Amino acid sequence: MKVSNVISNTQAPTMLMSEGGLNEATRILNDYHKHSLNEANKSRDIEIDVIQALNGLRADLGAKIKEIKGLSGDFKNSVDKERESTRKSVSELQDAIQHYDHEDSNDKGKSDPYLVRLSVDRSIERQIDEENYLHRVRIGSH
């Protein structure tokens, strides 16, 4: 800025060539420094407008992340555990049905297909309840 001001306020003698001489060099330097000053002003404006706004958004994002981490307990569920329980119950039902005809009639008890089927029904109900809960929580958070 200092060089630009000095060049702008300096008058070249009329006896110097206006083109191809010192006057042209002075004009080129003047244009260069004006351009440099404009670019510096642009970078300052970008710093003020964009970068400070981005820093504010970063701070807001950090606060939201902390808030979400604080809510993470609300989204805990046991869907995977219930799915595994249902899978095991269905497998037990398959085994009970497969072995029902081959076992001694006094040995049916817990492996009675009807009783095992009731266990499968309870497992499926628990799994559906967990999945519905998770679905309601996800919809409610939007």
User: pLDDT tens across 39-52, in order?
Assistant: 999 998 988 888 88
Whether the pLDDT of residue 90 is over 60: the answer is yes
Say what the pLDDT of residue 81 is: 87
Say what the pLDDT of residue 86 is: 92
Angle, to 10 degrees, between the axis of helix 22-46 and the axis of helix 2-9?
A: 140
Say what the pLDDT of residue 65 is: 86
CB-based contacts of 105, cutoff 8 Å, min separation 6: none
Which of 71, 86, 118 is at the close of a domain? 71
Q: Are residues 130 and 81 in the same domain?
A: yes
Which of 23, 38, 71 is at the close of a domain? 71
Q: Are residues 40 and 67 in the same domain?
A: yes
Structural domains of the chain, count: 2
* Confidence band for 124, pLDDT divided at 50, 70 and 90: very high
Domain, as residue range, for 22: 2-71
Q: Is the pTM of this model over 0.85?
A: no
Whether the pLDDT of residue 33 is over 70: the answer is yes
Q: Are residues 56 and 107 in the same domain?
A: no
Q: Are residues 61 and 87 in the same domain?
A: no
If DSSP codes are grouped into helix, strand and coil, which group holds residue 113? helix
Which of 21, 47, 71 is at the close of a domain? 71
Q: Are residues 61 and 101 in the same domain?
A: no
